[in-house]
Amino acid sequence: MSYNNRFLATDDLITHLTSIVTTITDTAIKANYAGFLSVSAVTVYELAIKDIFIEFASNKNKVFGYFIDRYFSRINGKITICDLKDKYIKHFGQKYFDNFEAKLKKRETIIFNTTHKELRTSYSNLILCRHEYVHRGTPTLTFEEVLDNYNIGKNVVHSLYDAMKR
């Protein structure tokens, strides 16, 4: 499965929820929708990231692909940018590590110039929101912020994909 297809589940959920959430006046209910959406968003990030690493390894060697598939079965939300760089990418070699950072910086500049928002911050805030909602029941972002951060944060995953090409 293409990593890009992973986004479809959350994109479809957003289409459905946006029409509902905009009519809700109760802030507590709106916050729960924000938390729910953050869980979905981070889940599809995680699945897309796993797909990217598995595809990369499988293209190198069938056994390597199998190993990476098993290794990433335990990723469990460990997908911060630091995790991506230090726990995963660096093990594939400096070339991929540097490539990821370069791709990320390029996308950061484009996003900042067009939206005045920080890519790394948006991605990190969404992961934090998901964590706070899952473990404390209180999301740290509004529904609209989750939506915005999710769409901006996709660029981290796209950067990873671009960096892990041969």
pLDDT at 143 over 80: yes
- Please, is 10 exposed, middle or buried when counting C-beta atoms within 10 Å of its C-beta (0-12, 13-18, 19+)? buried
The whole-model pTM stands at 0.95
pLDDT at 1 over 80: no
pLDDT digit string (tens) for 27-75?
A: 999 999 999 999 999 999 999 999 999 999 999 999 999 999 998 887 7
Mean pLDDT, rounded, of the chain = 95
- The domain spans of the chain are 3-163
What is the average pLDDT across 109-116?
98
pLDDT by residue (tens digit) across 69-102? Answer: 998 887 777 999 999 999 999 999 999 999 999 9
